[in-house]
A and B are shown apart, each in its own frame.
Chain A
Amino acid sequence: MIPFILKRIFISIPVIFVLATITFCIMRITPGGPFDKDKAIPPEIKANIEAKYHLDRPLWSQYFYYMKGLIQGDLGPSYKYLGRSVTDIIKDSLPVSVELGLYAAFLAFLLGIPLGIIAAYKHGTWLDSSSMFIAISGITLPSFLVAALLIYFFSFKMGWFPAGLWEGGWEYKILPVAALGLRPVAIIARLMRTSMLDVIKADYVRTARAKGLSEFPVILKHVLKNSLIPVITISGPLLAGIITGSFVIEHVFAIPGMAKHFILAVTNRDYPLIMGVTLIYAVLLILANILVDVLYAVIDPRIKVS
């Protein structure tokens, strides 16, 4: 297992470098620079700024300078948030996104799996239709609309939860977690249902029933375990996406997470921050996929990690 994980990590390193190179090139092709502002500055001042951030060097030199820093674990200074390093910005904002994302992921598995099971087990009944209605709604409704509806009903109308902010209490977390978690709930429920419907018809399930096992052990031991494989497959990228935050949710609820930097770093042309958040996302995605591969082996012994 450990050699497999190490091998996967080793293979990922060139991927990260290719990604960093592509991101670097795309950033520099994009019109507009980090220090373009509505109030133009005299050329001598522009020269001072470019010298400070090494932007006066040729592009290839800037690239090697950045890569050298990256190898040493230095993501560079932010061009927008003066005096703060990209590492500091990620250190401050990623834990918030991870916390919010983990709650939402927990909600997604807690609700998505049972909903999928119920829908498949009670296939064709009103329970199936209701579960799938929730699932389809979760997938089709955009998150900003879900967030707005939640705020309207639970904050304005009922006054149960605050309309935004992130003060630490549970009451501040319920609405953003619900808004962020609804889509993954829906995805997992649909996958679970489809997968269970396949497994439920399998010969070994019929055999288990014929042997006189009651329904609960059949579902839990034979059906559920084998139906989880597609859910685990999707949970890697889903988890990586969800814990790096949602721009819309963090924006609407004024949550100080990392997702905003994916957008604002680009609009500000904050090159080091664009690179930083892109690379963090890539690393998390790679780690989540390794985790998924490991989980495969745990769930289904026929799958070997090697």
Chain B
Amino acid sequence: MKKIYGIILALIILVIAWNFFGPKKFHSHPEKEFRFVIASEPPTLDWSLATDNVSADILFNLMEGLIQFDSDLNVKPALAERWDISSDGKRYTFHLRSDALWTDGKPILASHFVDGWERLLNPKTASDYAYFLFDVKNAKEYNAGKLTDFDTVGIHAQDDHTLVVDLWHPASYFLKIPFFWVTFPIRKDIIEQFKDAWTDPKNIVTCGPFRLKEWKHDYSVTLEANPSYYGEKPKISTATAYIINEDSTALSLYDTNKVDLIRRIPPLLISHYKNLADYKNSPFLRGYYYGMNVKKKPFTDSRIRKAFSLAIDRSQLSTILQGNQIPTSSWIPKGMFGYDETIGLKFDKEKAQLLLAQAGYPKGEHFPSIKMVYDTRDDNKIIAEFLQSQWKEHLNVTVSIDNQEWKVHLKMLETNPPELWRLGWGADFPDPDNFMNLFTSYSGNNHTQWKNKEYDQLIEEAAKELDSQKRLTLYQKAQHLLTEEDVPIIPLFIDSQNVLLKSYVKGYTLNPMSNNILKNISISKND
């Protein structure tokens, strides 16, 4: 018996010793392999169904749409080499490139876009983002099942390389929509052949600068350069996205050179990395705000809503959050057409106190107890506590704080919004309509209960207005209403991207949409 134990022990020691001192499996990092972190498993790589940024991080490298944006968010050709817009702004004719191929070598045709848009709108697909095409003639009716013949919808392939889209009305933002992943073309034959498994690496057919090499669920997604891509071929051979939800793990792996890019640094750790050359920062089109329920006292009185907005010294926010967030009192974010920093209620505690007194609460006396609610997250807590202290200091009112899990928070906003609550909004496409539409009386995203016909009308007019100067004026008026006169929301800041990127990685740029574009990356460790 003793001998057997001895042999087992010796074997265990040998195996362990071999793994420690034998040939190392660690390999040096090849110059054409790029590794980055994504925060979760992509819920899907089916671009008709994807609704989240993680899936988008992969999809924007696997696929391309009709157009793309340059770093200043100007529209540039992609799969459409040019386009015509009719004089009434209701017909868009896209002329496709003839040299663009799918990864299986077949050419990209206008019918693939028609198939993609049909699939997006088909009620059976049940795509969240079908509404992106609701400006297209009969699209909404087709999606609702009221029309079953897709030929009646305003999307047609005139020939192999010409796509015609007819809208109900002019939509000044429409040209930016085909950047969004849900509008990418599809290969209906591939989807029909492989059903749910069509996005598996062995089945998927794409047309972007990379193709899907491997998808280890919950662990990593590996892309490789697509040799049949029409444009300049990527300089890296592979890009691997590691799925790491825990920020400290991502940072540990970055610090030990296991990954080259991290796109999220916890607010409390930004100061630790801020002075490194690897640290990059840039604003992006995401607004952070507190909403007020205008149907609940005391926020039924616009003077109180104004007082709460005026009593916040927003300049302190970037110091508190450390990430170069841009304090704002207006709603259209910096970097987007229509941004105007002069709009909104700036910090003015005297005026705030005066308005509060006029509303019947001089020096905050007898102000009812109110509650502000945010979704549980470290940075949200910091901001809520900051606001609480500002209102106490400048208005002498006490606001209690509550936090809740994300889905509970959303359900509460949908069913019974409290007096004060937190939310944010990131741009789906870089146009003010995407931000301003939020607070129209018919928007499902407007939890303030505020309804203003004038505001609705301004937003509708601005959406249809093709003259940019007139459009700008309309948005200015709407922003005045939203952030200075009726004030159902308190805009606080425009968010920023805080990333860590190894110095040997070149060509990666932060863009205002926070899209993770990898095609221009190169790795050079000799510099």
Residues of A whose CB lies within 8 Å of any CB of B are 31-33, 35-45, 48-49, 51-53, 80-84, 89, 92-93, 148, 151, 155-156, 159, 162-171, 220, 251-254, 256-257, 260, 267-269
Contacts and interface: CB of A to CB of B under 8 A. Distances in A.
B443 interface: yes
B360 interface: no
Contacts of A37: 51, 128, 410
A48 B123 contact: yes
Contacts of B71: none
Nearest to A91: B217
Interface in B398-422: 405-408, 410-412, 414
A254 B126 contact: no
B275 interface: no
A151 B256 CA distance: 11
B351 interface: no
Given A81-B41, A254-B242, A254-B249, A165 B258 contact: yes
Contacts of B30: none
B44 A31 contact: no
B243 interface: yes
Nearest to B37: A254
Nearest to A173: B19
Interface residues of B, number: 57
A93 B243 CA distance: 14
A156 B130 contact: no
A256 B412 contact: no
A41 B131 contact: yes
B227 interface: no
18 contacts: A39-B128, A41-B128, A45-B126, A45-B130, A45-B143, A51-B126, A81-B217, A84-B196, A89-B217, A148-B248, A156-B255, A165-B242, A166-B219, A167-B25, A169-B25, A170-B19, A171-B19, A260-B218
B218 A41 contact: no
A171 B44 contact: no
Contacts of A43: 444
B423 interface: yes
Contacts of B231: none
Contacts of B124: 48, 52
Nearest to B254: A163
B128 A155 contact: no
B445 A40 contact: yes
B126 A92 contact: no
A82 B19 contact: no
B412 A31 contact: yes
Nearest to A269: B407
B55 to A, nearest CB: 9
A52 B44 contact: no
Contacts of A82: 43-44, 46, 49
B324 interface: no
Contacts of A159: 256
Contacts of A53: 126
Nearest to A106: B12
A42 B131 contact: yes
B252 A32 contact: no
A53 B49 CA distance: 14
Contacts of B382: none
Given A83-B196, A164-B258, A251 B245 contact: yes
A33 B411 contact: yes
B408 A31 contact: yes
A49 B256 CA distance: 44
B392 interface: no
A52 B126 CA distance: 7
B424 to A, nearest CB: 7
B127 A164 contact: no
A169 B423 CA distance: 43
Contacts of A155: 252, 256
A252 B256 contact: no
B216 interface: yes
Contacts of A162: 26, 253, 256, 258
A305 to B, nearest CB: 27
B26 A171 contact: yes
B512 to A, nearest CB: 19
B131 A45 contact: yes
B463 to A, nearest CB: 16
Given A44-B144, A166-B219, A171-B25, A81 B44 contact: yes
A156 B143 contact: no
B423 to A, nearest CB: 7
Contacts of B353: none
B256 A36 contact: no
Given A156-B255, A163-B253, 8 more contacts: A38-B424, A39-B428, A44-B140, A44-B144, A52-B124, A83-B196, A167-B25, A268-B407
A48 B126 contact: yes
A48 B102 CA distance: 30
Interface string B1-27: 100000000000000100100000110
Contact of A156 (B49, B219, B252): B252
Contacts of B123: 48, 51
A180 B243 CA distance: 21
B403 to A, nearest CB: 14
Given A49-B128, A256-B216, A165 B408 contact: no
A167 B35 CA distance: 14
Contacts of B128: 35, 37, 39, 41, 45, 49
A164 B131 contact: no
Contact of B407 (A32, A84, A168): A32
> Which 5 A-B pairs give the minimum distances between C-beta atoms?
A32-B407, A40-B444, A163-B252, A256-B218, A256-B219
B258 A163 contact: yes
Nearest to B249: A164
A253 B411 CA distance: 33
B443 A40 contact: yes
B33 to A, nearest CB: 13
Contacts of A89: 217
B199 interface: yes
Nearest to A162: B258
Contacts of A44: 140, 143-144
Interface string B197-238: 101000000000000000011110000000000000000000
B522 to A, nearest CB: 24
B153 interface: no
A49 B410 contact: no
Given A32-B408, A33-B407, A83-B199, A38 B256 contact: no
A44 B146 CA distance: 11
B43 A81 contact: yes
Given A81-B41, A93-B217, A254 B246 contact: yes
Contacts of B407: 31-33, 36, 267-269
B213 to A, nearest CB: 16
Nearest to B375: A38
B198 to A, nearest CB: 8
Contacts of B355: none
A48 B143 CA distance: 8
Contact of B244 (A83, A164, A257): A164
Contact of A42 (B196, B412, B444): B444
Contacts of A36: 407, 410-411, 414
Contacts of A169: 19, 25
